[in-house]
Structure 1
Amino acid sequence: MIGNELAQQGISWHFIPPRAPNFGGLWEAAVRTVKSALKKEIGSYHLSFEDFSTLLVQITAALNSRPLVPLSDDPLDVDVLTPAHFLIGSTMTALPETDLRAIPTNRLTHYQQRQQLFQRYWQRWSKEYLTEMQMINKHRQHISINVGDLAVLREDNQPPLYWPLARITKVHPGNDGVVRVVTVRTKNGIYKRPVCRICPLPSNCDLLQNRPGI
C-alpha cells in the first residue's frame, strides 16, 4: 500500500550501504554539531529529568526546523523544505522570547533559566551547523553560487527556530573571476553580503549527484 502510493507520487528511495556512515555526510555532520553544542552548553549543568526532557524536546524542534532544500525554483519564493514537513506538514515555529543569555542566572526564574539554556544552545548549534554546511559545499567542486539560488544568511543573534532566508539576485565576481560578494533579496529588502555570510542550500540535483558521500 505505502509502496504503491509513493510510486504514484514519483518518490524513489536511495539507501546507503550498511555500516558506511561516511556515505551519509550531511546527516552525520548534523549529528556531530548537535552532540558538540549539547556538551559545551549543557554538559556542566545538573538538570532534573523533567527539565532535561523539556530541553531535549526544544532541541528536537530546533533540529527539525533547519532548512534542507528549496520548495521551488521560483525566484520570489523563499520557502524551504524542513524535516518538520515530514512530521507535521509545515515548518516549526516558536513563540518570541526575551533574550536571556546575558542576564545572570540568579536573577531568573526557574522557567527563564531553562529558556536561557536553550537560547545559548541554539546560538552555538545554529552557527556550527551553518559552518558545517559551508564546509560541505566547499567540498562539492561542481557547485557554484548562481543567481536564483536560495541561501541561509548568517546573521547574528537570531531567535530560536528562525532561519533568515534569501534569494541570490546578483553575483559580483572579482578580477580573478571568483565570486566573493552577492546581492540577495529577503522579505525585508535587498542587501549585499559577502559569500562567507551566506550558506547556499543544495538543490535536488545536487543531492542526487552527491548521495554516495561528501
Structure 2
Amino acid sequence: MRHGEGTQVWKRAGAVYEGEWRQNVRDGYGMLSKLQPSTNEYVKVYSGTWRNDKKGGFGTRFYSSSVRYEGEWVENERSGWGRMTYENGDVYEGEWLKDKPHGQGVLWLVNENRYEGSWKDGKKHGHGRFFYTDRGQLYEGFWVDDVPRCGTVCDYDRKNAHTPPMHPIPPVMLQDVQSVLIEGCSRFCASRED
C-alpha cells in the first residue's frame, strides 16, 4: 500500500507521479508528468495538491508551454479563484466553477482591451465593464450570454488610444442619466424573466 512520499511510474500511460500518497491514492502535494512522444521526455502536466486521487486545493495545470491555469481545484475541475493564460495571450483571472469562468473576473485581451465583471458558465453575464483601450471607449452595463444588452458607451481615454474614433461621443443631455440607465436595465431584466 502506497502511503507517504513516493513515486509511481505508469509505463503504458507514459506518466509519472512524484509526491504524497494516502491509503494508496494521491493525496497531498504532488507533481504529474507525461511523456512527450516527439521528444521522448517527460513534461510537467500538473503541480499542486491532490485530494483522494483528484486535483483538489491549489495547483498549476500546464496545458502546453504557453497555456496554463494556476489556481484552485475541486475534484479535477477548476473551481474557486484562478488565473488562466490562453494560447493567444489572453488572460482571465477570477472565479471559476466546474471548469468555466463563473462569478467575478477580469479578462485581459492580447490587444489590451479588457472586460471586468460578472461571468456565468464561461460567458460574460450580468453587470460588467468592457474597456476598448484601442479606441479609448468604455461600455458599462448588462451582458447576457457574452452579448452586451443594456448599458452606456463613453469616451474615457481617447488621447492615449491607438485608433480613436474620428469624433468623440457627444455628452448626454439628460438631467439624471443614471436613473434613465437604471430604469432601462430594470425593464430589460424584467423582460428576461417573462
Q: Which has the higher strand share?
A: 2
Decide which structure has the larger Cα Rg and report it: 2
TM over 0.5: no
Work out which structure has the larger RCO, using CA pairs closer than 8 Å and 6 or more positions apart in sequence. 1
Q: Which has the higher helix share?
A: 1
TM-score (normalizing by structure 1): 0.21
